[in-house]
Structure 1
């Protein structure tokens, strides 16, 4: 398609994986991981999994959690599941694993009409923390020793009156490198953050506003390369095929902000923001959003999010605890998240996928979950007197356990028979089981004779330490770990070696919140040898050890739409004076009598806003129209707008009639939660019939939001006709200088009549729109 190009996938696939790990008792053995996947990955398992979050648990599987919804509606079930849970060994093939709360066992402190929304999952202090929102506002906490429960209700974490001016929902936890826990939350239209106590069970300290935007919500933070990235969604989440949900991002040097978009704009500015990570691209999904992030065994990041299938966007009416509702289907999608020039973007800017894609790497060249008693394929090296065996423990199943009498000063190693060669990611879950205040557990990254690279959790030094030895000399590089770091709890140590550069990180849950990071130089390019586990001066346990070919990063974005030469017959620079149609008869009016003060002067069309609109059944505003060219094209307008109060707007349209159109406008919209405060938004909407609702909605309207507007804003609508589906596809773009453009999402609708180029200045009187020009170009 012409509006969002495709991209050849660059993620590495493991072509020679080791043997799959055996399943714990009562679980089916995992199959060989698929080479490809197709969204939605939950197809055939559940109908929907809105607002998804995901974690790799200590049993080596991935678990996904979603908002309360009718997940088995297609199978005839008429009830909702409260925070459903899915399980997968490959992030692609999922099975239903239960619910966090049974309907008949909801916490007693919930209001009777509340529904549980937007879970967030973390692994902290040796247990799983699941925070969730209540539809009536407020945030709860449940904990468990297992990713599937049983869950212990910990009560209300954040009350409805939270100190944040927006709704107290859509929360996510984050742990900083100093061990401080933070909670992010907010919806409609402000996102806030507060520090938490040491056990992450209560807020502590001030509540700080960090982002504002129309319908901004779903904040999720990761720490990467010394930056804190705040992912969030704006636009409408849940309006079926009219859902304008879009994932955006800003970054900061502090978990409290300020967070800035790629153009340098503070996310607290009262304008819509650039930094688009994922937006609808005109394929079979709309409304991509409310994301989490997970990482596969090759080190590739994946965006975990929901999307709405445009062909079947809505459920039949459902009788919920909060009345009868028409809910949108929002199944689980995953796609490769690329980091290009320091900024994340989905599939290099190609957007959500709906065709086969290279699957996440979930099996390594070396891999073991140590589920069987046999240690065939592993060899003991180093110290004497140590014993290595497999022990069964709750949650994790089988784990590698080292006991005996560790030899002081000489590490004990258990390494793989299989050698790893080249750029690799090596990781394992590690913990110290011996008492005292000293000792270390290590991940052997490369061992070849006397050449050895090991990443240590060193309890005596209170540090993550990387040692590089060639048998003659050794070098050490370390980073301190937080004062409260508990070496007895499971921690994940992941090491990536690309060329001669090694990066090691330790975290509790692999969710972009490292507690320590070390970068070192290694003599050999890539990993050259065996991998394994080491202990020094104590006894240890290890699990989920893997070594996989390191992912190949994508470094260039897909191309933006390219424009051909100006089409003068479909353009106007508004030279001369008087009415626009007098100088150029291609212009015609819809209800033109109401726009008698729209005139040309000084090379521009000036048009005061009307107290009128074209919104569903209220069609009173004037629309200035002219024909569109044949084929695919781009309409561009330069607009100066001085709106100051809610609902004033002006912009361009591709207009079929009053009830079928695409519109891109500089809109002034009220900020929810703060009186007498407005947002300036680039609002991209469509209006058409919504036949999938019950009863069918004759006319419906949905917005998505693009980059920031300014006093003068350049607007573009790029049109493509999809002949295969007989569908109009329109993509928006905005600019504040006429040269650097923020390309946003795509709206579609079935093609019926012809579209016209349109201009509007409307919705609330008192502002002035000045159109410097309207230019039309062929789309290459």
Structure 2
């Protein structure tokens, strides 16, 4: 329980309500935040998980890699600690070199941890890459360990939580666990990856055993790295898509779907299921043309002001590998704001990853008490005492420990509490929020509302209360990780003040720690600007094939007919060294522009038709291009935005995912020249109806490049299928 950093402040402040500007000064420290935030202790820290410990520190856990270039030794789930979520210090590994689970094969790696606080102990879930009981090298399983503190000591369970799942001669990706507790107290585990899809299974109340049969919630060959939160009554499944680890062409991104049940079905913003062959996914985080690519595998948390944030890994495209090229991908940890706009989560309102920002999480408030000292700054202390780093009321009736500082305005207050008596909670003016065995209750004057609290209250819980105007919203959870176990909202009657005196309330014995009050965050409600077409400056409606087109390896089968360019999909490709496919190109206008096409490609559904595709291309050469196409990837149909370029004597290829295709799909590439670097940036967009657009990631070309734009139709000729392009139109960028 950490030092009360501003105990002395209570002695000097007056008792008038805190003004908004003063709250901002007290709760929002300045200074530029530079990504990656893991730079002080690690060059790579992939798949980060995060939790705030009962000691007041924030802890992050990474996948098993060497932390520094040249180190050479893997850390088994390294742990870092921070007071402000910006400056981190390495504090050790969860497991030593000889400390593998008893069911793990020698040499196994431990990947992708997820950390929770469940019923009085810390529980860590992780991937075990090789299970001794199965004969395959990559027979993944999900492990679980428990500890009394965030740094351990960790105790392995004797058997996998989720055992390897055979699929023919191979094994499904039983990887990337994420735990979630619902409002009814039921616990769930989400897991899975590209081979086999994403699944959810119910857990026993202790979180250490699987109950019943798992349910598939997202299609295979598209998602991994799942994370689930509950927000405004919906369950949001956020997952990473495309490839995590392709060095300079890594196109990893985060997509989302939502449901009214933790078991799904999860649908994206346009109603497209995540479990369909043409799988949906609303963009949450995408690369934006700065140095960060491959943005994904994240964790979420809420700061003391109520603002949500995302920790995730990314790759510096100028330094993509930890040591030698094509070795371990260097994936440091980044931090950015997570907004909720029109019911959907999105990083920085859609602006994507930051390199530098003046925004930082609020991790200390104008009330900020960890009870490591005495009760300076508090009054009415009779019956209260500091004990082992927290304050407790010994019992014997009802008592309020009152802060010397009164509160006013829109606020978020919170505390960790453990109930051993009748009830405990917070007082705000003449309103109160209390936790008891009967549930969570918000009262203001004669008005009162209550919600059941599963699991009782005899363990440490987090109680967070927001006051906005006269509306009081209270949540009880375990660790600020988007899974509140009880939520109550009450509009206080007029004449009942919800500002003024602030304190801790106990009816009988109770314990409190990490008490804070901060100015309520101001939500961002408008998306960052997205590309919009301006004036039409060039087009081919395919009455004929106009003279502006130029072929690379002309395909005589491609012909204009009935107002469309009909191009039988070729048995060839551009990726790799084969370079057999034709490319139809034209020279774009100078400056910023948007090129658009409408392409019909009937790839069916569910069957394997690798890798038939058609769409747009930005082309410098056969080994330096970005293509945006609807494509068959095993059983799925996706809009992939792929990039190939030469790097360190080899060709590197990776993809980014941009929406879900229909049989007829509209595609756009929005080009701009970065005024600072001169680089050519191409952002990809897709639409299923030509009206509603999904915008994805950005691929870049060097300042000296002269990319042309055009069309492709390749990836395999069996079964035969035609790509019908209705037009190509070029608009002025806006």
Relative to the length of structure 2, the TM-score reads 0.92
The equivalent residue for 2:501 is 530
The equivalent residue for 2:45 is 49
**Maintained 8 Å contact 2:641/2:655:** yes
The equivalent residue for 2:10 is none
Give the number of equivalent residue pairs: 695
Structure 1 unpaired stretches of 5+:
1-10, 19-31, 319-324, 393-397, 671-677
Given the superposition, is the C-alpha separation of residues 600 and 69 from structure 1 closer, same or farther in structure 2, using an over 3 Å criterion? same
Distance 2:572 2:22 in 1: 57
Distance 1:554 1:730 in 2: 26
1:605 maps onto 2:565 in alignment: yes
Distance 2:580 2:622 in 1: 9
Distance 1:255 1:719 in 2: 40
The equivalent residue for 1:237 is 244
1:201 maps onto 2:155 in alignment: no
**Maintained 8 Å contact 2:267/2:280:** no
Distance 1:207 1:330 in 2: 31
Give how far 1:107 is off.
2.7
Give how far 1:132 is off.
0.4
Given the superposition, is the C-alpha separation of residues 700 and 16 from structure 1 closer, same or farther in structure 2, using an over 3 Å criterion? closer
Q: Say which SS state the counterpart of residue 98 (structure 2) adopts.
A: helix
Give how far 1:77 is off.
2.2
Relative to the length of structure 1, the TM-score reads 0.87
The equivalent residue for 1:130 is 124
1:497 maps onto 2:467 in alignment: yes
Q: Say which SS state the counterpart of residue 17 (structure 1) adopts.
A: helix
Give how far 1:87 is off.
0.3
Pick the aligned partner of 1:400 from 380, 383, 391.
Answer: 391
1:562 maps onto 2:532 in alignment: yes
Distance 1:286 1:13 in 2: 38
Give how far 1:723 is off.
4.8
Give how far 1:204 is off.
0.7
Distance 1:207 1:550 in 2: 39
Tell me the alpha carbon deviations over residues 699-753 of structure 1, each in whole angstroms, 9 at most, x when there is no partner: 1111111111111100001112225324221100001111110011101132444
Give how far 1:260 is off.
0.7
Tell me the alpha carbon deviations over residues 584-613 of structure 1, each in whole angstroms, 9 at most, x when there is no partner: 121121111xx2111111100001111111
Given the superposition, is the C-alpha separation of residues 422 and 56 from structure 1 closer, same or farther in structure 2, using an over 3 Å criterion? same
1:310 maps onto 2:317 in alignment: yes
The equivalent residue for 1:521 is 491
The equivalent residue for 1:27 is none
The equivalent residue for 1:442 is 425
Tell me the alpha carbon deviations over residues 372-404 of structure 1, each in whole angstroms, 9 at most, x when there is no partner: 1x11110117xxxx5111001xxxxx000111x
**Maintained 8 Å contact 1:213/1:272:** no
The equivalent residue for 1:551 is 521
**Maintained 8 Å contact 1:12/1:550:** no
Counterparts of residues 11-160 of structure 1 (less than 5 Å): 14-17=23-26, 34-73=30-69, 76-135=70-129, 136=138, 137-155=140-158, 156-160=160-164
Distance 2:67 2:529 in 1: 38
The equivalent residue for 1:330 is 331
**Maintained 8 Å contact 2:248/2:652:** no
1:618 maps onto 2:578 in alignment: yes
**Maintained 8 Å contact 2:600/2:664:** yes
Q: Say which SS state the counterpart of residue 221 (structure 2) adopts.
A: strand
**Maintained 8 Å contact 1:651/1:665:** yes
Distance 1:249 1:35 in 2: 32
The equivalent residue for 1:512 is 482
Give how far 1:133 is off.
0.6
Pick the aligned partner of 1:424 from 392, 396, 411.
Answer: 411
Give how far 1:503 is off.
0.6
**Maintained 8 Å contact 1:274/1:742:** no
Counterparts of residues 204-603 of structure 1 (less than 5 Å): 204-212=211-219, 214-317=221-324, 326-372=327-373, 374-380=374-380, 387-392=383-388, 398-403=389-394, 405-407=395-397, 411-434=398-421, 439-444=422-427, 446-447=428-429, 452-459=430-437, 462-469=438-445, 474-482=446-454, 484-485=455-456, 487-522=457-492, 523=494, 527-536=498-507, 538-568=508-538, 571-576=539-544, 580=545, 584-592=546-554, 595-603=555-563
**Maintained 8 Å contact 1:429/1:492:** yes
Tell me the alpha carbon deviations over residues 399-422 of structure 1, each in whole angstroms, 9 at most, x when there is no partner: 00111x523xxx210010011110
Tell me the alpha carbon deviations over residues 320-369 of structure 1, each in whole angstroms, 9 at most, x when there is no partner: xxxxx711111111111111111111111111111223111011111100
Give how far 1:213 is off.
5.2
**Maintained 8 Å contact 2:43/2:322:** no
The equivalent residue for 1:643 is 603
Distance 1:40 1:57 in 2: 22
**Maintained 8 Å contact 1:133/1:169:** yes
Given the superposition, is the C-alpha separation of residues 701 and 16 from structure 1 closer, same or farther in structure 2, using an over 3 Å criterion? closer
Tell me the alpha carbon deviations over residues 453-495 of structure 1, each in whole angstroms, 9 at most, x when there is no partner: 1111122xx11111223xxxx332101111x32x221011100
Q: Say which SS state the counterpart of residue 348 (structure 1) adopts.
A: helix
> Is the deviation greater in 519-528 or in 505-514?
519-528
Distance 1:430 1:44 in 2: 33
Given the superposition, is the C-alpha separation of residues 215 and 269 from structure 1 closer, same or farther in structure 2, using an over 3 Å criterion? closer
Distance 1:284 1:615 in 2: 23
Give how far 1:530 is off.
2.6
Distance 2:705 2:344 in 1: 40
The equivalent residue for 1:774 is 728
Distance 1:16 1:279 in 2: 32
Distance 2:252 2:496 in 1: 43
**Maintained 8 Å contact 2:193/2:220:** no
Structure 2 unpaired stretches of 5+:
1-19, 130-137
Distance 2:193 2:495 in 1: 49
The equivalent residue for 2:665 is 713
Give how far 1:202 is off.
1.2
Distance 1:282 1:525 in 2: 52
**Maintained 8 Å contact 2:78/2:94:** yes
Q: Say which SS state the counterpart of residue 419 (structure 1) adopts.
A: coil
Given the superposition, is the C-alpha separation of residues 13 and 110 from structure 1 closer, same or farther in structure 2, using an over 3 Å criterion? farther
**Maintained 8 Å contact 1:197/1:203:** yes
**Maintained 8 Å contact 1:415/1:531:** yes
Q: Say which SS state the counterpart of residue 349 (structure 2) adopts.
A: helix
**Maintained 8 Å contact 2:613/2:630:** yes
Tell me the alpha carbon deviations over residues 661-706 of structure 1, each in whole angstroms, 9 at most, x when there is no partner: 1100110110xxxxxxx21110101111123xxxx42x11111111
Q: Say which SS state the counterpart of residue 406 (structure 2) adopts.
A: strand
Q: CA RMSD in A?
A: 1.9
Distance 2:672 2:497 in 1: 46
Pick the aligned partner of 1:186 from 167, 178, 192.
Answer: 192
1:174 maps onto 2:174 in alignment: no
**Maintained 8 Å contact 1:423/1:526:** no
1:682 maps onto 2:639 in alignment: yes
Give how far 1:13 is off.
9.4
Given the superposition, is the C-alpha separation of residues 17 and 211 from structure 1 closer, same or farther in structure 2, using an over 3 Å criterion? same
The equivalent residue for 1:4 is none
Distance 2:282 2:220 in 1: 13
Pick the aligned partner of 1:749 from 680, 691, 701.
Answer: 701
